Chains A and B, each alone.
Chain A
């Protein structure tokens, strides 16, 4: 048992922190927001050159073979910089699903391209009626000769418009238990309509409708088996990655608020001279520390058995979601009127943390899942 980072992990942290501090400025974020995809192709290329896209992918398919800890180190730095490049969509979710569930020839065809930055993926799974229920999918897939025909609608597809291929979840026509399947669908497929929008806190997302979208039978990701366990595993790892990203955001907000309350003077003294302000800042920093512990726990359990992995991931999402709201709201509060303006980036972090809390279900949902996975009737 040892939680000391390895030399490689320390170096990764240093290079990620340095890249974010030097490159990912407020100006770059403003530019990215104006890009049609919501991020910079040049930065994405740099991610590939730095080996970050290959980092968690299997070595057999052009990857570096890193794990959730390494992804967490990157994501924490991305949180500090409010990075909007589609790392979560393409590498953690998209490539994660291919690596977890894909057939060998699919891995060989797709993963090296993700690693070198020439292929982007997105995961089209959430649906309006499902809310946060990961298991509920109403989109259907019907076999027709050597094709599958997909019909349905998806919401909150992260970075869908910039992806080359979408991984779409659908039920087989029999709709029985275990009938969930994943399909690789080109973004330009006939019958696929994207309603692309700027996403809260940076980046873009889209809603999809699928009207008789035809894909060849071999576009089914993996074999003709239930894809739900793979979806659950990959989403749990995404929750761990997002948790680390949230830690980066919470830490940055706390640091900014600390700095501000030391210099902002009212009644002839700095705001931080007031005990009520100091204690608020203390509670924020305690939340950051607990979030750090939970994100680390979720990463360390990312390859554990399904219940253990799920409890750690949902525990992290639930607790950090609560803490993130507290830190974000108090940061705005302690910045006073300026906190609710676009003139400071406090609001940008606030929004991105709200997006974190919303994606894949909020704290209440994840406490309920944690309870269910712990054998408590809910």
Chain B
């Protein structure tokens, strides 16, 4: 067992660094450092995804035949770590990491041929239609209905918390196609063109002041029946498969470490009156850093298991639970570090479009909105309470 890189790994690390140096523009970098939402604005995320795709790195996790990189887990680790360290944009995962694997796993040859290249190139911008106003954690109670009419489905209902619906031209959604004794059995996985007549989008501002999520209404929206993925009534299985990706696919510790380094830089600045000299802040910084160390080691243990073809088990829920909690601990600490500057409210969005200098140091602008919006981390993708239910079932056998 060792944590050091071999020559091939070091060479790959250099290749990633060179790629980032050549492709990460100052505008992208600034947009990312002032991003207070979970994912980057399309104006930063799309060009970055396209640069990755041009290099052949558009979807590292996909099978090679569909455009994956075939990287070893150590290479994926190096890639994610270097990207986080450099502060590259975080495009929404809805295309590459979420609908992509479902189409690869369960889609028709036509769907694969048509959609996969468009996901890689961001020609399609995807959003996810899962939650509904009455169906949050209890997702399988969802009511949005798709009724077969000839070679079309007619969709009525509403979806909520739809990240970047206002940017997307495509949605993948779970809809009810039949009423079965077990409500999961009546759910299907469909692909919806967001320009279809009958779709209305209502923005929802989160408490940090950002427009990232929406409610989407469907009023007799017609989609071709060929936009059903896999079999009718199997959508729940596909959706769960995808949620596993959402929970466990990420290598999150590198990003958390980057966020902690930013908080530490604030704490060492004159702007915060050198908050680091408060021993309470200094020790909390070590507490969070150690939590990130533990998360990193768990991620590396999972990667090593994967490298040996072993199933890492239900650890994806543990990673999701801890990642979200540590994310919030970092953002809470950053808020405490900037002190009074946290009182300043900047209404301009996105923040990187701000023209006039704000009343506080510009690089502190995202701290408070990030903290506020970030309360969602322990809620989306299955709340921490749901994660604990899953862990108690899968890990503890309860």
Q: Which residues on A are within 8 Å of B, measured CB to CB? A: 1-6, 9, 69, 258, 262, 272, 275, 278-279, 281-283, 285-286, 289-290, 292-294, 296-297, 300-301, 312, 315, 318-319, 364, 367-368, 370-371, 374, 376-378
Contact A283 B388 (CB under 8 A): yes
Tell me whether A282 and B322 are in contact in the complex, defined as CB-CB below 8 angstroms, given that A2-B1, A371-B285 are known contacts.
no
In the complex, besides A258-B397, A318-B287, 9 extra interface pairs with C-beta distance below 8 angstroms are A258-B396, A281-B396, A281-B398, A282-B391, A282-B396, A285-B396, A293-B296, A367-B290, A371-B285
8 contacts between A and B (CB under 8 A): A1-B300, A4-B304, A258-B397, A300-B2, A315-B286, A370-B286, A370-B289, A370-B290
Contact B398 A272 (CB under 8 A): yes
Chain B residues near A9: list those with CB within 8 A: 1
Question: SS class of chain A's interface: helix, strand, loop or mixed?
Answer: helix
Chain A residues near B389: list those with CB within 8 A: 275, 278-279
- B277-300 to A contact mask, C-beta < 8 Å, 1/0: 101001101110111011111101
Number of interface residues of B (CB under 8 A): 45
A1's closest neighbor in chain B, by CB?
B74
Contact B294 A278 (CB under 8 A): no
**A262→B293 CA distance, assembly (Å):** 33
Tell me which of A319, A371, A374, A378 contacts B291 (CB under 8 A): A319
Contact B2 A377 (CB under 8 A): no
Tell me which of B295, B301, B385 contacts A3 (CB under 8 A): B301
Q: How far is the CB of B195 from chain A (nearest CB, A)?
A: 44
Chain A residues near B307: list those with CB within 8 A: 2, 4
Contact B297 A294 (CB under 8 A): yes
- B66-80 to A contact mask, C-beta < 8 Å, 1/0: 000000001001000
Contact A378 B396 (CB under 8 A): no
A281's closest neighbor in chain B, by CB?
B396
Chain A residues near B396: list those with CB within 8 A: 258, 278, 281-282, 285
B299's closest neighbor in chain A, by CB?
A293
Chain B residues near A290: list those with CB within 8 A: 291, 294-295, 298, 322
Contact B321 A286 (CB under 8 A): yes
Chain B residues near A69: list those with CB within 8 A: 1
B5's closest neighbor in chain A, by CB?
A1
Contact A281 B392 (CB under 8 A): yes
Tell me which of A4, A285, A318, A374 contacts B395 (CB under 8 A): A285
Chain A residues near B1: list those with CB within 8 A: 2-6, 9, 69, 296, 300
Q: How far is the CB of B259 from chain A (nearest CB, A)?
A: 16
Q: Which residues on B are within 8 Å of A, measured CB to CB? A: 1-6, 9, 74, 77, 276-277, 279, 282-283, 285-287, 289-291, 293-298, 300-301, 303-304, 307-308, 315, 318, 321-322, 385, 388-389, 391-392, 395-398
**A278→B187 CA distance, assembly (Å):** 29
B280's closest neighbor in chain A, by CB?
A378
Chain A residues near B277: list those with CB within 8 A: 377
A304's closest neighbor in chain B, by CB?
B3
Q: How far is the CB of A58 from chain B (nearest CB, A)?
A: 20
Contact B385 A279 (CB under 8 A): yes
Chain A residues near B286: list those with CB within 8 A: 315, 318, 367-368, 370-371, 374, 376
Contact B276 A374 (CB under 8 A): no
Q: How far is the CB of A4 from chain B (nearest CB, A)?
A: 5
B267's closest neighbor in chain A, by CB?
A376
Contact A2 B289 (CB under 8 A): no
B292's closest neighbor in chain A, by CB?
A315
Tell me which of B295, B308, B388 contacts A282 (CB under 8 A): B388
Tell me which of B4, B276, B285, B294 contacts A293 (CB under 8 A): B294
Chain A residues near B287: list those with CB within 8 A: 318, 367
Contact A286 B322 (CB under 8 A): yes
**A300→B300 CA distance, assembly (Å):** 12
B276's closest neighbor in chain A, by CB?
A376
Chain B residues near A377: list those with CB within 8 A: 276-277, 279, 282
Chain B residues near A282: list those with CB within 8 A: 388, 391-392, 395-396
**A368→B286 CA distance, assembly (Å):** 8
Q: Closest 10 A-B residue pairs measured CB to CB?
A: A293-B297, A376-B282, A3-B304, A278-B392, A315-B290, A371-B286, A290-B294, A370-B286, A282-B388, A279-B388
**A272→B396 CA distance, assembly (Å):** 10
B4's closest neighbor in chain A, by CB?
A1
Contact B276 A319 (CB under 8 A): no
Tell me which of B290, B304, B321, B398 contacts A319 (CB under 8 A): B290
Chain A residues near B322: list those with CB within 8 A: 286, 290
Chain B residues near A367: list those with CB within 8 A: 283, 286-287, 290
Tell me whether A2 and B74 are in contact in the complex, defined as CB-CB below 8 angstroms, given that A258-B396, A282-B392, A378-B279 are known contacts.
yes
Contact A318 B290 (CB under 8 A): yes
**A364→B388 CA distance, assembly (Å):** 28
Chain A residues near B308: list those with CB within 8 A: 4
Chain B residues near A258: list those with CB within 8 A: 396-398
Among the interface residues B3, B276, B291, which one has the most CB atoms of the partner chain A within 10 A? B3
Q: How far is the CB of B87 from chain A (nearest CB, A)?
A: 21
Tell me whether A319 and B74 are in contact in the complex, defined as CB-CB below 8 angstroms, given that A285-B391, A368-B283, A371-B285 are known contacts.
no
**A167→B200 CA distance, assembly (Å):** 78
Contact B289 A374 (CB under 8 A): yes
**A2→B300 CA distance, assembly (Å):** 8
**A282→B289 CA distance, assembly (Å):** 23
Chain B residues near A376: list those with CB within 8 A: 276, 282-283, 285-286
**A318→B395 CA distance, assembly (Å):** 25
Contact B285 A289 (CB under 8 A): no
**A4→B279 CA distance, assembly (Å):** 38
Chain B residues near A3: list those with CB within 8 A: 1, 3, 300-301, 303-304
Chain B residues near A279: list those with CB within 8 A: 385, 388-389, 392
**A376→B304 CA distance, assembly (Å):** 33
Chain B residues near A272: list those with CB within 8 A: 398
Chain A residues near B2: list those with CB within 8 A: 1-2, 300
Tell me whether A378 and B318 are in contact in the complex, defined as CB-CB below 8 angstroms, given that A4-B304, A285-B396, A293-B298 are known contacts.
no
Q: How far is the CB of B354 from chain A (nearest CB, A)?
A: 32
Contact B290 A294 (CB under 8 A): yes
B78's closest neighbor in chain A, by CB?
A1
Tell me whether A371 and B283 are in contact in the complex, defined as CB-CB below 8 angstroms, given that A3-B1, A293-B298 are known contacts.
yes
Chain A residues near B289: list those with CB within 8 A: 315, 370, 374
